[in-house]
Amino acid sequence: MDMLGTRDVYGKTLVELGRESENIVVLDADLASSTRTNYFAREFPHRFFNMGVSEQDLIGTAAGLALAGKLPFVSSFAIFLAGKAWEQIRQSICIPNLNVKLVATHGGITVGEDGASHHSTEDFALMRVLPNMTVICPADGVETEKVIREIAKHQGPTYVRLARPKFPVVLDDAYQFQLGRSFTLRQGKDLTMIATGIMVYQCLRAAEELDKEGVSAAVVNMSTIKPIDAPAIASAVRQTGAILTAEEHSVIGGLGSAVAEVVSQNCPAPMKIIGVDDLFGVSGNADKLMAHFRLTYPYIAEGARQLLKRK
């Protein structure tokens, strides 16, 4: 199976966009080699700004560049970009509805050995609550390229969460990302799994395991977390009558919460939210942490079995 790093694809796509438009500028908080914005910096040094370990200033400068007519792409680790600079994002970008693209790498617990201080399991919630903000988490490297190109055309504040490690490719090159629209990778009749990021692959594996037991599970890639694809969620409820969500994020305030808001108000049905329980991360190997926090496909399959008992 092909493996791609979403942050690697981001860096390469930024360079391509930079060649296409001199209006694009890139800002980073002294982490360019990790976020891969160093690719852009090498080719366009006059359009790259290393703001140092100063995330609030990073956002304020990006806002000024947007007001001057530039298209800023702003990057840092998810925990620093969404956390340290939250007030500045709210005040300087979202309230005036500026066209700034926040692309955070090192999201979730697969940051690994860096531990709780660097594990961002709250960023979806922090960004989703802000008016005017769009929130996206691509399923793989193929979708990452499509997302970065699409948000360059989209007007308004946008937050994209990428990962540190490489993970399996689940989409082919013919796939077309549509902002605010989900994509069904697998049809099913017994339940629907709605996932984002690396969890799309884990849900596909879980669906394969369930299929051996005669359970038919649909798998939906919900890469746009805000605005959520409410019609697709309602359709899934009508078709399967049970919804399981999966995300590399806290079970509080993320994809599961967004889906539950739609389900509870429009089409009540049994639900199961798979994610990081109300806990901070711990230091360890990324794969082992996925198992530790019960985010791998065997745990998803077990969650589906429990859900079906309530159907």
In the numeric block, which tokens belong to residue 307? 């859900």
Answer yes or no: are the C-beta atoms of 151 and 136 closer than 8 Å.
yes
b/e 56-76 (16+ beta carbons within 10 angstroms → b): bebbbbbbebbeeebbbbbbb
How many other C-beta atoms can be found within 10 angstroms of the C-beta atom of residue 91?
13
Residue 236 CB-density burial (10 A; 0-12 exposed, 13-18 middle, 19+ buried):
buried
Among the listed residues 22, 43, 55, 213, the single catalytic one is 55
Distance from C-alpha of 307 to C-alpha of 311, rounded to nearest angstrom: 7
Answer yes or no: are the C-beta atoms of 157 and 184 closer than 8 Å.
no
In the numeric block, which tokens belong to residue 229? 């694809």
Answer yes or no: are the C-beta atoms of 136 and 148 closer than 8 Å.
no
Answer yes or no: are the C-beta atoms of 284 and 112 closer than 8 Å.
yes
Give the angle subtended at the CA of 158 by the CAs of 245 and 182, to the nearest 5°.
35
Answer yes or no: are the C-beta atoms of 3 and 44 closer than 8 Å.
no
Three-state DSSP at 291 gives helix
55 is a catalytic site residue: yes
What would the DSSP string read from start to end of 92-148?
IIITTT---EEEEES-BGGGGGG-TTT-BSSHHHHHHTSTT-EEE--SSHHHHHHHH
Element (H, E) at 168: strand 166-168
Catalytic residue ranges: 55
